[in-house]
Structure 1
């Protein structure tokens, strides 16, 4: 656990933490994320593996208080610099019907309550782009008014940021609301630092470096079909990595990410993880092969990645209580198969030391639900500037957690955290899952 003796680093709390994409981005910007809250015990276990020195509270925001967050972490009575999180707002998703009074959106109100109880200097609320469209803007106004009546101010020129403009090889747009206490200066939104090669977005500086491409992200990864053992487990100890791009070098830990103030993790860079193979039928493989890059395969509706472009938005699918739908995984640009969890992680800007649940279903859900770390880092860096401190790189190398945490099923994970296994409804297993045509 990171204790309060490291007082040079500002402290943060992650609400709706998932596997930890935002936690990692804020850590990379220079924060110590001392407490994280997440209801799903599978996500909690993955978060604990990757951040074993932090405190994960496995429970709903509905049943949590600021006193509990402070007492069950090393925060105690210290002042919190930032609280961040993305309350699930499926009612605003562009995929759903965007029902204004969708009961699932009540989680936003509990997010606001916890921010007001914790009284941080700053807060960041991340959400889907759909929240900014049509009548849903009213909901943003309600959020802003609630904060303004309780000693906070919010940037009213709220922005939807695209991960592709912050070094992530994926088209992924998310709303970020930035706020602070009345006595402080509001943070700015981060300026774009990369531009996708095939973007025609007005206002993007043509002198910006190009966003890494799909092939920049994937080209050095070993071909999983060369490893028979990846049919049974998701890792290989000494894999044959190729020559990486600059982006690949950074994610492998061979060179450092620009202005990365995260804790170094102890791991073996020759190990390939999160790479369980998928069994595709011969017919599916033929269809994948004949689909042009950048197009959608007509029967499965899977998108085939363009190696010179960026990835389409990686989605999580839905939980069992919403139909247990597994989102379509993209097709690899050169091998007739769906991409692996590790390949999705590369397209999401997760470093290779970061591991996910050993099943493809949970692994893809954890990535698709998360904010790309480099996008979170860009936002967090603006909060660091507003706090007006110089971030420092810790000298300590942190161990990762116990690998068993990545192998729990839902009932094992629930038992480990001492919660009811029905907190997340069990998914109905089907004989063929949607991503194995």
Structure 2
């Protein structure tokens, strides 16, 4: 057995996730070996979902633009003491991570130069300047590198360098396809470390994963009438057996059959005999006929929904918008074998989430949470690059941790606000204009609304 060099620390580095959403970045960093002790998320529904999946993490439901360094470090100290009772708080962060809301830079939107959400990029920079973590990871859409955003982007990078950080990833985006995710998703990943040596770029994976491989072992939701009113169901014996015989290495790890190579996250206690995140969407007969006539990899002309291929990856999953931007429904792709849109669980498989990871029980919130998040395998690769800069080789954890209370996954916005102690003056403002009406293909049942 090799003995670690004196420069390698076997402790787990400490991170805080800003703009955390449901927790894609948190999960990837935890899998790499970080202790994500606190998460900041201003949407109370998403904050509650994060609390379910990371019950030992301190979740701060706040607007990051209004946070001070003391606020963030205070939350980090509370989360650290919860994870490590009796251990002195180190009073510093190894990493500050996060993806500021990117719709102002996104190719899926209008790329508005004056979108107020663009300023959140500079609030991330401000908190890095004030907290001075050893490293940071800043994620955003590829549109951030467009010429029209030169001024705000270069201002951000200039300030980070002036604060003493060496940067990598400022010149071109990465594609999640190259990190074991069956989805084309181009993202800018800027890594920074204090000192003169920039972190290495995240290491890519060999080979690519197809939609067919990603979906292997998932039963058809149409076989379970319970999924018309619930997002979970106990699997029949035949479906449990089919799940256990998955051949795809990608699907076997997400289903929990095989361990994820190099996984250093806290094992979760969960019941794999249940299918979750699979609430059905009902379609009209006319919609089903249109879906049936749509070839794999093609776009259905009326709804403009894309039909997934079997032998290749998915296009980028989109999130739609929250109440502060008009409550637009996310465009969900059409299943490659069935004439319906995909479930939240199927979208999660296309993103690299393990099957134990849960999302809000409604389709609207659930798909937003997946589509807004960083694919965990991409976050994991970024985290491993930062570990090299930190000189850490964290050990794997063996003790399993329970998940949170399932009631956290079904909260309305108002109820979630009370549960996560959100400040009313910092909540997303509800836009008063009439939201876009979903197409028949996307329109949820009454049980799915929310």
- When normalised by structure 2's length, the TM-score is 0.88
Aligned to 1:59: 62
The total of aligned residue pairs comes to 416
- Cα deviation, residue 159, structure 1: 3.1
Contact 2:10 2:393 in 1 (8 A): no
Aligned to 2:442: 436
1:193 to 202, 205, 230: 205
1:424 to 415, 428, 431: 428
2:221 to 219, 224, 227: 224
Matching of residues 292-311 of structure 1 within 5 Å? 292-311=295-314
For residues 347 and 192 of structure 1, the distance between their equivalents in structure 2, rounded to whole angstroms, comes to 17
- 2:9 equivalent to 1:15: no
2:110 to 81, 94, 97: 97
- Cα deviation, residue 402, structure 1: 0.1
SS at match of 2:97: strand
For residues 257 and 159 of structure 1, the distance between their equivalents in structure 2, rounded to whole angstroms, comes to 28
Contact 2:334 2:341 in 1 (8 A): yes
Gaps of 5+ in 1: 1-5, 195-209
Give me the CA root mean square deviation: 1.9
- Cα deviation, residue 92, structure 1: 1.2
- 2:100 equivalent to 1:87: yes
- 2:75 equivalent to 1:35: no
SS at match of 1:83: strand
SS at match of 1:91: coil
Aligned to 2:179: 166
Contact 2:166 2:197 in 1 (8 A): no
Contact 1:144 1:153 in 2 (8 A): no
- Cα deviation, residue 115, structure 1: 1.1
- 2:322 equivalent to 1:319: yes
Contact 1:92 1:98 in 2 (8 A): yes
Q: Kindly provide the CA deviation profile for residues 308-337 of structure 1, in whole angstroms up to 9, marking residues without a partner as x.
A: 010110010112332321121000001100
Aligned to 1:204: none
Task: Describe the shift of the 1:166–1:7 C-alpha distance in structure 2 as closer, same or farther (beyond 3 A).
Answer: closer
For residues 71 and 256 of structure 1, the distance between their equivalents in structure 2, rounded to whole angstroms, comes to 34
For residues 290 and 115 of structure 2, the distance between their equivalents in structure 1, rounded to whole angstroms, comes to 39
SS at match of 2:173: strand
SS at match of 2:277: coil
For residues 292 and 56 of structure 1, the distance between their equivalents in structure 2, rounded to whole angstroms, comes to 44
Task: Describe the shift of the 1:116–1:101 C-alpha distance in structure 2 as closer, same or farther (beyond 3 A).
Answer: same
Aligned to 1:175: 188
Higher RCO (CA-CA < 8 Å; seq separation 6+):
2
For residues 390 and 171 of structure 2, the distance between their equivalents in structure 1, rounded to whole angstroms, comes to 20
